[in-house]
Amino acid sequence: MIRICILILAFILTGCSSKKPELTFMIGGTANEFSFWEKTIADFTEKTGISVELLRSATQTEQRKQQILIALRGKQPDPDIVVMDIAWIGQMARSGWLKDLFQYQIDTSAFFSNIITLADIYNSGLIGVPLYVDAGILYYRTDLLAKYGYDGPPDTWDALVSMAKDIQEKERVQNPDFWGFVWQGAQYEGLVCTALEFFVSAGGGFFDSKGNPRINSRANTAALGFMRDCIHTYGISPPNTYTDMKEEEVRLVFHNSNALFERNWPYAAKLHDTPEAPVNGKYAFGVLPHFKGHLSASALGGWHAGISAYSDRTEDAAEFIKFITSRKVQQELLTELGHNPGRKDIYSGAGAKTERLASLKDIFSSAVPRPTVPYYSQVSQVLQKYLNAGLANSMEPSRALSEAQKEIERIKQDYEN
């Protein structure tokens, strides 16, 4: 009898601790990204014998975060591997939701060390590895600039407005849907990135060097006024900029040959290059413009892979992370998806030299991060609300920014007390 009880107990215990059959990897993105990951997973399984299930999530950053949070708050063993925005990886680490990757001998020496320090080290642990780095860039129609006698893209925001007004007016004769400049202005994380670029390229920013909020500065007010004017005064950006325009909405306008300038992340290039894209062969990209007397600024974005604290297959998960951050897969990410790798050694490799995106390495190295304060999610919510109100013209820029300043000061105080 005692032996039977022991056997039953052993069965229950092993049954409880048995692992699920597949490793699970959650990532969001566009259709071409999912095809890429399916192929990469097949390569990994062939090499290691470990099967992986791809859990598809949304394209937009906030939705991706929500999907991951549901699993983590519920202490679910799936997904084992999560891919996190640089904007919220800190929040995940503070909540204790990520494994320390140092214990799995993940070597980070080949990666951009400034990005690792900024985003992936938490309490001396390694909570993520950069899968790819993002920075805002300006896409422009080379054919239209040449057609209307311009030598190249604009250096300053004023020059962008004058080219956009001129060419928009002329193009609208055949194409009433044509816009001068499309960019992300909807109330979401992407707006915070766009505003950071306008603000810093006017001499402003969000926080000062001592970590105090500096939202309601003259530079920021002028820059927010300029963003609003692109929509309401110059009429070069569509009225739905502040209601609808996120990455994909913006990309499609340019993709369909309906815009002269587009602010977007590098991923858009691969999609504009597809044989069926109307803009294929008719565009180029480069640094964003700046206000006179200041320097251009790109917001630092990007996505990092980590292991959930509730994963029951951490060793296999670490193998998978090593594989997707290997030189081979990082090179493929660049060549096939146009994602700029987090590994520095790719940029000096032969394959990267033929890639136009690798030419933007300097932009990536100097891109401006969003505030790295522990209460960033709350800061972002406040900024999204007031920046968007400024764009909608429902609040004067100076008032929107001073309200944002007050709320962010309060959030900072609450956090510090």
What residues make contact with ligand GLC under the rule CB under 6 A? 61, 85-87, 134, 189-190, 193, 247, 265, 301-303
CA 122 to chain centre: 20
- Alpha-carbon distance of 5 to 292, in angstroms, equals 81
How far apart are CB 64 and ligand GLC at their closest, in Å?
9
Q: Which is nearer to ligand GLC, 250 or 404 (CB)?
A: 250
Q: Which is nearer to ligand GLC, 135 or 161 (CB)?
A: 135
Q: Closest by alpha carbon to 71, among 118, 25, 17?
A: 25
Cite the DSSP H helix spans in 133-183: 142-147, 157-171
Q: Which helix (H) or strand (E) holds 135?
A: strand 129-135
How far apart are CB 190 and ligand GLC at their closest, in Å?
3
- Partners of residue 111 on adjacent β-strands: 343
Rg of the chain over Cα atoms, rounded to whole angstroms, equals 23
- Burial class (CB within 10 angstroms; exposed 0-12, middle 13-18, buried 19+) of 215: buried
Q: Which residue is nearest to ligand GLC (CB)?
A: 301
Q: Which is nearer to ligand GLC, 154 or 301 (CB)?
A: 301
In the chain, the amino acid numbered 223 is A
Q: Which is nearer to ligand GLC, 190 or 238 (CB)?
A: 190
Q: Residue 284, Cβ neighbours under 10 Å: how many?
A: 14
Whether the bond between 79 and the residue before it is cis, its omega within 30 degrees of 0, is yes
How far apart are CB 29 and ligand GLC at their closest, in Å?
9
How far apart are CB 363 and ligand GLC at their closest, in Å?
14
Q: Which is nearer to ligand GLC, 134 or 316 (CB)?
A: 134
How far apart are CB 191 and ligand GLC at their closest, in Å?
8
For residue 119, give Cα distances in angstroms to 180, 338, 379, 394. 35, 22, 17, 35
Q: Residue 194, Cβ neighbours under 10 Å: how many?
A: 24
How far apart are CB 354 and ligand GLC at their closest, in Å?
24
Q: Closest by alpha carbon to 404, among 108, 204, 210, 151?
A: 204
Rounded to 10 deg, the angle between the 397-416 and 218-232 helix axes is 130
- Provide the sign of the torsion angle of the four alpha carbons 212, 200, 184, 55, taken in this order: negative
Q: Which is nearer to ligand GLC, 263 or 313 (CB)?
A: 263
Q: Which is nearer to ligand GLC, 241 or 314 (CB)?
A: 241
**Which pair of structure tokens corresponds to residue 398?**
């100076």
How far apart are CB 13 and ligand GLC at their closest, in Å?
43
Q: Which helix (H) or strand (E) holds 72?
A: helix 61-73
How far apart are CB 415 and ligand GLC at their closest, in Å?
21
Q: Which is nearer to ligand GLC, 33 or 247 (CB)?
A: 247
Q: Closest by alpha carbon to 221, among 237, 204, 208, 235?
A: 204
Q: Which is nearer to ligand GLC, 313 or 361 (CB)?
A: 361
How far apart are CB 34 and ligand GLC at their closest, in Å?
15
Q: Which is nearer to ligand GLC, 272 or 313 (CB)?
A: 272
How far apart are CB 62 and ligand GLC at their closest, in Å?
8
**Cβ(335)–Cβ(163) below 8 Å:** no
How far apart are CB 138 and ligand GLC at their closest, in Å?
16
Q: Which is nearer to ligand GLC, 87 or 98 (CB)?
A: 87
Residues 62-92 as b/e (b if ≥16 CB within 10 A, e otherwise) read: bebbebbeebbeeeeebbbbbbbbbbbbbbb
